[in-house]
Structure 1
Amino acid sequence: MSTAKVIAGHVVRRLRRQNGLSQAAMADMLDISPSYLNLIERNQRPVSAALLVRLVETFDFDPRALTSDAPGGGAAAMRRRLADPLFADLEIDRTELEEWLAAAPGGAEAFARAFDRLAGAAGGMADAPAAPDPTMAVRREIERWRNHFPDLDAAAESLADELRLAAGDLYGALAERLRVRHALSIRVLPIDILPDRLVRLDLHARQLQLSEMLEAPARVFALAVQLAQSEARGEIEALARGAAFGDRIAERLFRRYLAQYFAAAIVMPYARFLRACEATGYDLAILQRRFGVSFEQLAHRLTTLNRVGARGLPFFLSRVDRAGQVSKRLAGAADPGLVEAEGMCPLSSVFLAFDRSGEPLVEIVVMPDGARFVTLTHATSRAGRTLSGDSGRFAIMLGLTAAMAGQLAAIRGQDPMSGPATPIGPGCRRCLRSECPQRSHPPVGRALLIHERERGVTPFNFVGD
């Protein structure tokens, strides 16, 4: 039996209240002391594997709720919100935050929803109602699950084993399964036939049509996505219904994300992939070749390794364009301090990656609060291009807190906790680092200091500087 332990007092308290039980009554049913249950509900003791079994047997309890239903997305997500300069003077530490989540999970959830709505409306008219943002809703649901969907992973792993037995070539095995089980043939078409599409399902012709501009990893992934939509429909629909978005666009985006998640789990089956990661020290070049995937596919998969009892390193991911706009953020199980930055700091090496090719650019960075991260950044082009020859260009930044990066092959021989590090920030509006030569805006919530007889490195000196 797994010995994994989970801090989830709010879930246990909610379960007790739903059943109308006192702490003494529930403790008696679980064969533990009331004082021990009280500590669990206050997040001062974990829910052990043995106690989890008793919860399941006694209350018909779904154990996934322990990791998928934390108020506000959990402590890491709440720390991200509280990092806003609006709360800088409150100095809410980790212990105080955990006590808040334990004592008032409903209030914490209400705060998170209000903050997300106001943050989403910040770019619009002050008096205008916040327009629904389907991407934010989907991201919040992914965050709620810690970007790990165990049912999808298990089903994909089983299917991947079947495909390996059927053929050594994954592309061929996927194509054959689609042909035999779903009466779909694969056809690769020239760009003048599919000028603005990479993949198209033609149900009339029973064809999955692929653009010739797709490289080999993208072709395999396209077939795996189609197989996910055909054979994991039930699991995907259950997750989409459970999200209860109330918005059809958000639901469709979430379904697409889940199909891609399932596809990645076919190409990189959980247990086999995690073993390869640990055996190679998460060597990205080796992993890319071993599983035949692109850097972005690999980086995305690394953010999902959160299986109970078999967790990988908690990576996060940001996808950035040349203007510093972030088009994808995945925190997974990681503390999202850097991935949740308002914008990419120009002092970061992420922008240098656009002019490099080959191996990822490795950097140790330090934030204004002293938090350290190891980042691995690789420039990539969006699959395919238009007839005019244009293609999207992005930098994929994969990151990890420095305290957990010791086993990375990329920094072997370096000390990420005490060695040299590049000072960066979470975007000028949130950054409180003083004397920054790259500062373009003053931080929100800090009064400016204007000295007529002095001029510093930055024109924006501020209170607390």
Structure 2
Amino acid sequence: MKKAEGANLDRKLFAGMRIRRLRRELALTQAVMAESLGISTSYLNLIERDQRPVSAQILIKMVDVFDIDPRGLAGDEEARAYTQLREIFADPLFQDTPVADQEIRDISAASPNAVDAIARLFQTYRDASTTSSMLAERLADNTHGETTSALMSFEEVRDFINQRSNHFPELDDYAEELYIKAGLVDDDPFLALRQYLQHAHGVSTRIGPVDLMGDDLRRYDRHRQTLFLSELLNQSSRAFQIAYQLAYFEHSKAVEEIISNSNLENSEAQRLARLALINYAAAAILMPYGIFLQTAEDNGYDITLLSRRFGTSFEQVCHRLTTLQRPGAKGVPFFLIRIDNAGNVSKRFAAGGFHFSRFGGTCPRWNIHDSFRQPGKVMTQIICMEDNTRYFSISRTVSRNRSAFDKQDNQFAIGLGCEISHAGKLVYSHQYNLEETKSDMPIGVNCRLCERLDCHQRATPPLMRSLRVDDNIRGLSPFDF
């Protein structure tokens, strides 16, 4: 029997609308579905009307009989759709036609595909507005040049990766074969990959001085059959760049097939996707799926240990952990976010169902922002969203120490987390009583979407609420609503 992964069987689950939608997608009558599940038609009718919860036995039976992902019934998809739709309708564009919260929930539950279509339409509107604003600024400044669509292409690729749950099995299968073939099992990754690149492709690797390489970290010279790596790269980054070159040489065809089967039509988006997929393959070479997952499970997902074991960086390990979604061999469904010290989001993946904002930053109450005060220290926190979903969060800064003394290093904060039901597997959670909610930090998606009344760190009022202004009262927050 297939395990109902990702579902909390101890929680009462009311999923009537989702079950009704599933039944219609399968073209089944209530009688046929009820018979398949071993229950009466009247009982199924009560479940579909949310007058009875879905028991653990029925959920497991549905997974077994209809081969479905239980997380779809557990409401993860609906929660993401709700967050996405709520953010869209919070835009000032809709201020004259407010949509009630219950209406948003109903649409999210009944038609998640329609929500995706609305989101795409709204993204197109936002892209057009951004382009229009940029053109207006150029005209106002009397400057010339083409308006770039890089931002729109970047978002398109990000959506594509999230739609695939950041998991590409064809690349993982290739990487596991190469890991053994290149001898990474018994040797330092950099040395093993350097030797394999020379023997398999006749390409030598040289470490170039910064005065020769400039700002280039990797440069492949086709004519000299030489891969130049900057001396500013540390050992793990050098190994990654060789792995990237190998993936480019040996697996470009599979990458092109993935892109051709996607809905990426923009040539710029396709180029960005190609880069992302080859990076994925490079990480998979250094951290092959089966061995990496087993090591992570055996050691409580200790990121530092995994980094040492596989010769990779903290960020590379965190990124790889978000990709462990192989059917039948899944890891903890992590989400990941990367921000700079101004709060700008430069990377986000939501395998763990976390509610990310598409168009803004993050909540200031989340201690990922505190990481910059204690660089290099791993910080943990239990956070609770407005819908009472609880997550366990791990945060730490990462630095790209690739510059000389007189240059400023880039510093980011990585946030890695999962739903609280998975947190017991993490070595970082052992100091917590995961059932206790008193120490939870209530957060929101971001200030403009959050409606918490008791937040003293609010930067902007919520877009879905009207401000109350009283000349005689000043609270801890300048916004009352």
TM-score interval, smaller chain? 0.7 to 0.9
Alignment of 1:416-431 (within 5 A): 416-417=434-435, 418-431=437-450
Cα deviation for residue 110 of structure 1 reads 2.1
Cα deviation for residue 357 of structure 1 reads 3.6
- Asked whether the equivalents of residues 318 and 339 of structure 1 are also in contact (C-alpha less than 8 Å), the reply is no
Query: TM-score by structure 2 length?
Result: 0.78
Task: Tell me the equivalent position of 2:15.
Answer: none
Task: Tell me the equivalent position of 2:221.
Answer: 202
Paired with 2:19 and 2:292, the residues of 1 have a C-alpha distance of: 28
Alignment of 1:140-159 (within 5 A): 140-159=159-178
* Structure 2 SS opposite 1:450: coil
1:294/1:237 CA distance change after superposition, 3 Å: same
Cα deviation for residue 280 of structure 1 reads 1.0
Paired with 1:205 and 1:387, the residues of 2 have a C-alpha distance of: 31
Alignment of 1:315-330 (within 5 A): 315-330=334-349
Paired with 2:21 and 2:270, the residues of 1 have a C-alpha distance of: 27
Alignment of 1:186-335 (within 5 A): 186-332=205-351, 334-335=352-353
1:77/1:381 CA distance change after superposition, 3 Å: same
Task: Tell me the equivalent position of 2:82.
Answer: 79
- Percent sequence identity over matched residues? 33
Paired with 1:93 and 1:277, the residues of 2 have a C-alpha distance of: 39
Greater Cα offset, 92-101 or 425-434: 92-101
Paired with 2:356 and 2:472, the residues of 1 have a C-alpha distance of: 36
1:448/1:126 CA distance change after superposition, 3 Å: farther
Whichever residue aligns with residue 108 of structure 2, its letter is L
- Asked whether the equivalents of residues 127 and 152 of structure 2 are also in contact (C-alpha less than 8 Å), the reply is yes
Paired with 2:440 and 2:185, the residues of 1 have a C-alpha distance of: 49
| Aligned with 1:385 (options 393, 403, 422) | 403
Query: 1:164 and 2:171 equivalent?
Result: no
Task: Tell me the equivalent position of 1:461.
Answer: 480
1:388/1:413 CA distance change after superposition, 3 Å: closer
- Asked whether the equivalents of residues 300 and 317 of structure 1 are also in contact (C-alpha less than 8 Å), the reply is yes
Whichever residue aligns with residue 389 of structure 2, its letter is A
| Aligned with 1:337 (options 355, 369, 377) | 355
Task: Tell me the equivalent position of 2:120.
Answer: 113
In structure 2, the gaps of 5 or more residues are: 7-17, 49-53, 71-75, 91-97, 137-147
Cα deviation for residue 435 of structure 1 reads 3.5
- Asked whether the equivalents of residues 202 and 208 of structure 1 are also in contact (C-alpha less than 8 Å), the reply is yes
Query: 1:99 and 2:110 equivalent?
Result: yes
Task: Tell me the equivalent position of 1:353.
Answer: 371
Query: 1:179 and 2:180 equivalent?
Result: no
Cα deviation for residue 74 of structure 1 reads 4.9
1:289/1:308 CA distance change after superposition, 3 Å: same
Greater Cα offset, 337-346 or 184-193: 337-346
- Asked whether the equivalents of residues 5 and 49 of structure 1 are also in contact (C-alpha less than 8 Å), the reply is no
Whichever residue aligns with residue 310 of structure 2, its letter is F
Task: Tell me the equivalent position of 1:57.
Answer: none
Query: TM-score by structure 1 length?
Result: 0.80
Whichever residue aligns with residue 335 of structure 1, its letter is G
- Asked whether the equivalents of residues 4 and 308 of structure 1 are also in contact (C-alpha less than 8 Å), the reply is no
Alpha-carbon deviations, 1:142-198, whole Å to 9, x = none? 011110011111111111122237852322221122112212110001111111111
Greater Cα offset, 338-347 or 177-186: 338-347
Whichever residue aligns with residue 102 of structure 2, its letter is E
- Asked whether the equivalents of residues 437 and 457 of structure 1 are also in contact (C-alpha less than 8 Å), the reply is yes
* Structure 2 SS opposite 1:243: coil
- Asked whether the equivalents of residues 240 and 283 of structure 2 are also in contact (C-alpha less than 8 Å), the reply is yes
- Asked whether the equivalents of residues 84 and 357 of structure 2 are also in contact (C-alpha less than 8 Å), the reply is no
Cα deviation for residue 305 of structure 1 reads 0.7
- Asked whether the equivalents of residues 179 and 185 of structure 1 are also in contact (C-alpha less than 8 Å), the reply is yes
Task: Tell me the equivalent position of 2:141.
Answer: none
Paired with 1:88 and 1:294, the residues of 2 have a C-alpha distance of: 45
Task: Tell me the equivalent position of 2:139.
Answer: none
Whichever residue aligns with residue 399 of structure 1, its letter is G
Paired with 2:391 and 2:319, the residues of 1 have a C-alpha distance of: 18
Cα deviation for residue 50 of structure 1 reads 7.6
* Structure 2 SS opposite 1:275: helix
Paired with 1:296 and 1:8, the residues of 2 have a C-alpha distance of: 39
Paired with 2:207 and 2:20, the residues of 1 have a C-alpha distance of: 53
Paired with 2:166 and 2:5, the residues of 1 have a C-alpha distance of: 19
Task: Tell me the equivalent position of 1:374.
Answer: 392
- Asked whether the equivalents of residues 175 and 288 of structure 2 are also in contact (C-alpha less than 8 Å), the reply is yes
Query: 1:442 and 2:445 equivalent?
Result: no
Paired with 1:5 and 1:276, the residues of 2 have a C-alpha distance of: 20
1:355/1:91 CA distance change after superposition, 3 Å: same
Whichever residue aligns with residue 89 of structure 1, its letter is A
- Asked whether the equivalents of residues 396 and 413 of structure 2 are also in contact (C-alpha less than 8 Å), the reply is yes
- Asked whether the equivalents of residues 353 and 377 of structure 1 are also in contact (C-alpha less than 8 Å), the reply is yes
Task: Tell me the equivalent position of 1:396.
Answer: 414
Task: Tell me the equivalent position of 1:89.
Answer: 100
Task: Tell me the equivalent position of 1:60.
Answer: none
What is the count of residue pairs matched by the alignment? 426
In structure 1, the gaps of 5 or more residues are: 17-21, 53-62, 68-72
Paired with 1:138 and 1:121, the residues of 2 have a C-alpha distance of: 18
* Structure 2 SS opposite 1:133: helix
Cα deviation for residue 401 of structure 1 reads 1.7
Alpha-carbon deviations, 1:421-446, whole Å to 9, x = none? 22322221111111422222111121
Query: 1:364 and 2:367 equivalent?
Result: no
Greater Cα offset, 92-101 or 313-322: 92-101
Paired with 2:448 and 2:216, the residues of 1 have a C-alpha distance of: 38
Paired with 1:146 and 1:185, the residues of 2 have a C-alpha distance of: 36
1:372/1:128 CA distance change after superposition, 3 Å: farther
- Asked whether the equivalents of residues 2 and 63 of structure 2 are also in contact (C-alpha less than 8 Å), the reply is no
1:387/1:207 CA distance change after superposition, 3 Å: farther
- Asked whether the equivalents of residues 85 and 119 of structure 2 are also in contact (C-alpha less than 8 Å), the reply is no
